[in-house]
């Protein structure tokens, strides 16, 4: 059961990263929001890549998107919203069902595995759509912005790896 839990946690993290990494909300990704001039509502600090504010706002700011680029990105997300939204809802519903199966009084391994396959299939469909959106968004970015974006993704991946390593160390130390 512990191996199943670790596998589920890893799958959940990867799914969350894949789903959240590219899709997000087009408006959020491309716009700094409101009359705050891009600053976080809770303080005088700017959003920045790491800090307060919506992650997509911080990403737009970190990449230095122009107003025209922000509008182009918004349009790309709007164009794909109707095909992606149902998949995201389906993913949430299927993951909720899996949680219910796991929490049941008598978990059925075969049923849990079948539900996990459904989640993987939906995740695959979502990833294909994400790839199309990401490809379109990349055409809006300059070569310098693409390099910045790749560097930020690598930094995020390292942060996730460190988090996973800390969890493994805690597990191996019996905590």
For the chain, 175 residues long, the average pLDDT of each consecutive 10-residue run is 48 44 42 40 38 64 91 93 94 97 96 97 96 94 94 93 89 75
Q: What is the pLDDT of residue 56?
A: 64
pLDDT of residue 58: 81
Q: How many CB atoms lie within 10 A of CB 8?
A: 17
Structure-block tokens of residue 69 = 């680029």
């Amino acid at each position: 059961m512990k191996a199943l839990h670790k596998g589920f946690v890893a799958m959940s993290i990867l799914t969350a990263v894949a789903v959240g990494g590219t899709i997000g909300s087009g408006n959020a990704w491309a716009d700094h929001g409101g009359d705050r001039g891009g600053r976080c509502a809770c303080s005088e600090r700017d959003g920045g890549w790491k800090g307060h504010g919506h992650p997509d706002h911080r990403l737009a700011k970190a990449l230095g998107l122009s107003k025209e680029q922000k509008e182009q990105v918004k349009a790309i997300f709007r164009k794909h919203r109707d095909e992606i939204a149902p998949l995201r809802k389906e993913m949430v519903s299927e993951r909720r069902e899996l949680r219910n199966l796991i929490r049941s009084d008598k978990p059925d391994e075969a049923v849990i595995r079948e539900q996990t396959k459904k989640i993987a299939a939906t995740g695959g469909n979502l990833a294909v759509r994400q790839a199309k959106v990401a490809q379109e968004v990349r055409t809006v970015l300059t070569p310098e912005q693409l390099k910045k974006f790749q560097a930020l993704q690598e930094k995020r991946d390292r942060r996730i790896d460190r988090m996973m390593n800390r969890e493994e160390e805690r597990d191996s130390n019996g905590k």
